[in-house]
Amino acid sequence: MNIVVLAGGTSSERAVSIVTGAKVCEALRKKGHHAILADVFAGLEKPDWGNLFSPDYDLAESISYIESWNDKIEELSKSRKEFLGPHILDICQKADMAFLALHGANGEDGKLQAAFDLFGVRYTGTGAMGSAMAMNKGITKQIFASGGIPMPKGFMLWRGESSRRLADYGMDFPVVVKPCCGGSSIGVSIAQTQADYEKALHEAFAWEDEVVVEDYIQGREFSVGVIDNEALPVIEITPLKGFYDYKNKYEPGSAVETCPANLPDEKAKEMQEYARKGHRLLALEAYSRLDFIMHESGQLYCLEANTLPGMTPTSLMPQEAAALGMDFPELCEKLIQVSIKKYESKEGNS
């Protein structure tokens, strides 16, 4: 297949996205696909249309070109109205599939998915509606609460709201403060005091106009991938210091990840069932990953759903797949196939 792996973009998770995209593109080429890597925002200035999906494609050269834009993206995003870079839409329309290796705003929030739906571009992962709902942690909390999936008690705050007092919401310290639609734990803080809380709000509002404040649950952290409505083995994440923040997620040696997690079978199955149920409630398609925390009492809490989870060989979902004997190229191939299945199902119902 001719596949465009889209990475980069303008979100705070651009750097992680480039790593994901490079590894996915490499894996798909190992599986025999004619895969190329492109920055969804920077685009390509002069595509070689006759050799676009050439077997002699130089992935290293594409990575270097994409990274050369890193210092220019912020300024360019202020001056340019269009999100899709030069020739990106044309390239994606010529491909059999766009593999979305994007994270965060404008890549994971349903906007790109909606545009591709309108222009007839097939892409991996869930559709526009599910992507938008899962990206918004406030909406996710409401949907999960209605479906019986436990989440930490919390509330939403918008920039400029008069009341920020925890007591007004029946809460007390400690709390977690995080941007509503962010990812990779960017802008997330744990507040133990009023001073911490004010600082945490300032940090979160620096990223977005809407934030989530939740009870801080002390406990063990887990994640469960879902592919084609089937839950993968549970993985446990144990940061060596602090909580599972950006540093602990992406700096090698900062966290110990155990898969399958050391859990009683009934607790692992309970978490997997919550993952499958959350996947369905948010109308997610193809694949996703849901994150959990377990209090020392054994009570489970779902923290959020990820519609485009990290996809490097050391990311959580690939480690879960590896526990089933599926290597990284096989997993990338599987995600392509379940995404094709979503289109075949829709075409069969039309």
Query: pLDDT tens digits for 108-139?
Result: 999 999 999 999 999 999 999 999 999 998 89
Torsion angle of alpha carbons 339, 281, 307, 188, nearest 10°? 180
- For residue 260, whether the previous peptide bond is cis, meaning omega lies within 30 degrees of 0, is yes
Closest CA to 201 of 245, 252, 157: 157
Predicted confidence at residue 176, as pLDDT, reads 93
Predicted confidence at residue 42, as pLDDT, reads 96
Predicted confidence at residue 15, as pLDDT, reads 92
Distance in angstroms (rounded) separating the CA atoms of residues 301 and 295: 8
- For residue 174, whether the previous peptide bond is cis, meaning omega lies within 30 degrees of 0, is yes
Q: What is the pTM of this model?
A: 0.90
Distance in angstroms (rounded) separating the CA atoms of residues 344 and 287: 16
Closest CA to 33 of 9, 10, 11, 57: 57
Predicted confidence at residue 2, as pLDDT, reads 98
- b/e per residue 92-130 (b: at least 16 CB within 10 A): beebebbbbbbbbbbbbbbbbbebbeeeebbbbbbbbeb
CB 60 within 8 Å of CB 101: no
CB 5 within 8 Å of CB 25: yes
The DSSP element (H or E) to which 291 belongs, if any, is: strand 287-295
Q: What is the largest CA-CA distance in the chain?
A: 64
DSSP secondary structure string, 223-236?
Answer: EEEEETTEEPPPEE
CB 34 within 8 Å of CB 57: yes
CA distances from 32 to 55, 57, 92, 329, 333 (A): 9, 13, 19, 10, 10
In the chain, which stretches have pLDDT less than 50?
Answer: 184, 244-250
- What sign does the dihedral 116-100-341-336 (CA atoms) show? positive
Note the pLDDT tens digit of each residue in 296-329: 999 999 999 999 999 987 899 999 999 999 999 9
Distance in angstroms (rounded) separating the CA atoms of residues 237 and 40: 31
Predicted confidence at residue 171, as pLDDT, reads 94
